[in-house]
Structures are given as structure tokens and as C-alpha cells.
Amino acid sequence: MNPYQNKRRWKYLLLFFAIIIAASSLWYTDFLVERISKSERTRAELWSQSFKKMFETDDDEMMNYLFAVRDSLVVPAIVTNEKDSIITYVALDTSRTYDKIETDKKYDPKYFVRELKSMKSQHQAITLELNGKTSYVYYKDSYLLTQLRFFPYIQLSVIAIFLIIAYTTFNSSRRSEQNQVWVGLAKETAHQLGTPISSLMAWVELLKDKFNAEDDPLILQMENDVKRLEIVADRFSKIGSKPILTSHSVYETIKDYVDYFRVRVSDKIEFVVTGDENQEALLNIPLFDWVIENILKNAVNAIEGRGKISVNIVENLVKEQIFVDITDTGKGIPRSKFDAIFQPGFTTRKRGWGLGLSLTKRIIENYHRGQIFVKESELEKGTTFRIIIKSSLKYVPTT
């Protein structure tokens, strides 16, 4: 069971709950808005009735009562006559007037026209018979109701922004933690290997002297293995510090490594390196070799039996980049796993650690400022990985 399947499951589950929470919050506010809207309609109707009754009654006490009722039922409203002219209004800006006669207020008919228009668009008018003539009461949502309509959207957006910020902060701190583990472990490994390797080197020299066995194949093999150990320690020390990059021919570097590698694997696998020999890039050789080794090893693992691994180096003139395409005729990678294979711990091999490609990606992206991805892959046909690195000076052969 790999951890990424679990992670994806959690992602979907959390997304599902987030949608449920957002939807129920929207649904509930909608429900509240609906109820308040209904009660505002009732208030507008009662207000209209009391307004009407005021025209019809002579009773002072009744009048006072009606005033009290009317004033307690305030919803922003405008009353118009049959010709759509404004008769009166309520709960709007009282410093303005639609009527030129009222000189103590600001004459602002446009304001009332605007308000009337917005009221018409919101609710159906309440019809009133006043002194035998038909009038219309238009009203609009109270300020409170308007706010309530927008509230969940604002609230959810604020929560979303908060979550995004929290997520990115945690993510970046987690990433820097991971970095520290990588770097620390690499340094420690290099450090621990260092001492026994230097002693081994010395012992090999002593053996040669003692038995006068300068060309003994056993000693040569031993020396080779010690050198190999030295390379491993060197790689770890490079990962643990800021590596120095120098300009090298990409073709030469890869060709050298492939030549070293090909004799160590089954001869059923054919290796071909093609491309422009003059392309140079800033490389750290021990680390870049490690990249090529990881990809070649994976390619070898993907090929069951006979197969071919080809490396092609081409220049992308437009962007001053170099493309390194490594193609195998192995079992291929499903499209859904193109990104996942680069995550630490992802493996499909029984005895794999799933660290090769994540290390490779680190070396290419963090140490060489390049890119690596699966360019294409077809199941049972093969896979092409592409590395993109920035080209440095043109390689000029010395004459």
C-alpha cells in the first residue's frame, strides 16, 4: 500500500465534506432569506393597509393607533399613483425629496427614480384603492436582508482564503523540513562513509606493496569497488552541500556514464546514445551521473528480457535549453502515475524504496535548475523521460 493512494483518498474525502459544508451553509441562509423575505412582504402589506386606513378614518384615536402601527412596520417603500408618479415614500434617505415644494430638503428626483426601479425589480407591487383611485406600493428588501443574502458568499470566501494561506504556509514549512532531512541524512552518510573508505584505500595500497601485487586482478577488483564506494560517498556529500557546477559536454558526460553502466547489466539490453556532441551545460558530474544512473536502472527494471535504451541529446534553440530524452522499451507507466512516480515512497517494485526518481527530481530541479518529467509512455511499449537543462557556452573544441 503506498501512502499516496491514501493521501488522494483523504483529499477526495475532505473535498466532499467541504462541498457539503458550503452547500448546507448556502442552503440554510437561503432558507432564512426566504422566511425573512416573506415576513417583510407581510409588513409591507400591513403598512399599506394602515396607510390606506389613515385616509379613511376620522377617529383621532384610531389615527394615533394607525400611526403607531405604520411606523413600526418600516420597510423601504415608495407609493405611486396610476401614472407612476410618486405620492410618498418611507424608510428612504429623508434628507432628499422628489418634490420641488419641499425646500428644506435636497431636490433629487433621480434618487427616487433609481430606488423605484430597484424596488420594481425586486418585488411585485401591493395594490391599494385610495379614494377610488388605484395606487401601488413598491418596497425593497431591508438592509438586513440584503446583507444576509450576501453574507454566506463573503463568509465562505474568507474561509477559503484563510484555508489557502494556512495550507501553503504548512506546505512550505513541511517542505523545508523535508529538505533538512535530506540534506542532514546525506551529510551524515557521507561523513560516516568517509573514514572507513580512506582506510580501505590505504589497506589496498599496503596489500599491493606487501605482496608485490600491482597487477593482481583480485586487488584491481578490490580497488575498483573501493573507488565505487568513494563515488557513493562523494554523491552524498554533494547532496548535503551546495554543489559546484561546471560546464561540460552533456553528450560526453552521458556517453561516459552509459559506457560504464552498460557492461554492468544484462547484454540483452542494447544502449544507444545519440545527439549533438557540442552542447554544454553547467553540471555537477557526480550528481548528474546519479540522475542518469537512476533513470537507466529504472529503465532496466522496466524491461523484462530483451530491450533497448536510447538517450538522445538535442538543443532547443529557441530557449537555449538542452533536452535529454531517455527512452526504453519497457512496460510503460500509466498516465495517471506520471506525477506520482516522482514522489518519495512511490514504487511498484517488490524491493524498491521509491526514492530514485524523487532524488533525481531534486538533483535536476534544485541543483541544476532544470526540469524532469515523463514525456510519453505507453503500456507494454515503453517510456520516454525528458530532462531539460539550460545550455551554457557553446562547446568549442580546442585545436
Ligand X SMILES: Nc1ncnc2c1ncn2[C@@H]1O[C@H](COP(=O)(O)OP(=O)(O)O)[C@@H](O)[C@H]1O
Q: Using CB under 6 A as the criterion, which residues of the chain lie in contact with ligand X when the complex forms? A: 294, 298-299, 302, 328, 330-333, 341, 346-349, 352-358, 383
Alpha helix segments (H runs only) across 134-249: 143-211, 217-239
- How near is the Cβ of 301 to Mg ion at its closest, in Å? 7
50 binds, among Mg ion, ligand X, none (CB under 5 to 8 A by kind): none
What is the Cα–Cα distance from 162 to 327, expressed in whole angstroms? 44
- How near is the Cβ of 356 to Mg ion at its closest, in Å? 3
> What type of residue sits at position 52?
K
347 binds, among Mg ion, ligand X, none (CB under 5 to 8 A by kind): ligand X
Using the minimum distance from each CB to Mg ion, give the nearer residue, 138 or 236.
236
| β strands within 40-132, DSSP E | 77-80, 86-90, 96-97, 106-107, 126-130
333 binds, among ligand X, Mg ion, none (CB under 5 to 8 A by kind): ligand X
Using the minimum distance from each CB to ligand X, give the nearer residue, 29 or 189.
189
Using the minimum distance from each CB to Mg ion, give the nearer residue, 44 or 287.
287
- How near is the Cβ of 363 to Mg ion at its closest, in Å? 13
Q: What is the DSSP letter of 365?
A: I
Give the x-and-dash track for 345-374 against Mg ion (CB under 5 A).
Answer: -----------x------------------
286 lies in the binding site for Mg ion (CB under 5 A): no
48, 279, 298, 312: which one contacts Mg ion (CB under 5 A)? 298
Using the minimum distance from each CB to Mg ion, give the nearer residue, 3 or 196.
3
Using the minimum distance from each CB to Mg ion, give the nearer residue, 344 or 356.
356
Using the minimum distance from each CB to ligand X, give the nearer residue, 152 or 382.
382
* Interstrand relation of 246-249 and 280-283 (parallel, antiparallel or unpaired): antiparallel
- How near is the Cβ of 296 to Mg ion at its closest, in Å? 10
Q: How far is CA 38 from the centre of its chain?
A: 43
25 binds, among Mg ion, ligand X, none (CB under 5 to 8 A by kind): none
CB 126 within 8 A of CB 69: no
Per-residue burial over 66-94, b = 16 or more CB atoms within 10 Å of its CB, e = otherwise: beebbeebebbbbbbeeeeebbebbbbee
Contacts by 219-227, CB closer than 8 A, 24 or more apart: 226/197, 226/200, 226/201
- How near is the Cβ of 351 to ligand X at its closest, in Å? 8
354 binds, among ligand X, Mg ion, none (CB under 5 to 8 A by kind): ligand X
How many other β-carbons are positioned within 10 Å of the β-carbon of residue 135? Answer: 21
Residues 6+ apart with CB under 8 A from 327: 309, 310, 311, 312, 382, 383, 384
Using the minimum distance from each CB to Mg ion, give the nearer residue, 283 or 302.
302
- How near is the Cβ of 306 to ligand X at its closest, in Å? 15
Residue closest to ligand X, measured at CB: 356
323 binds, among ligand X, Mg ion, none (CB under 5 to 8 A by kind): none
> What residues form DSSP beta bridges with 323?
314, 388
- The rounded radius of gyration (Å) of the Cα atoms in the chain is 40
- How near is the Cβ of 306 to Mg ion at its closest, in Å? 21
Using the minimum distance from each CB to ligand X, give the nearer residue, 44 or 357.
357
For 107, counting Cβ atoms within 10 Å of its Cβ (0-12 exposed, 13-18 middle, 19+ buried), the class is middle
User: Could you list the residues that contact Mg ion (CB under 5 A)?
Assistant: 298, 356
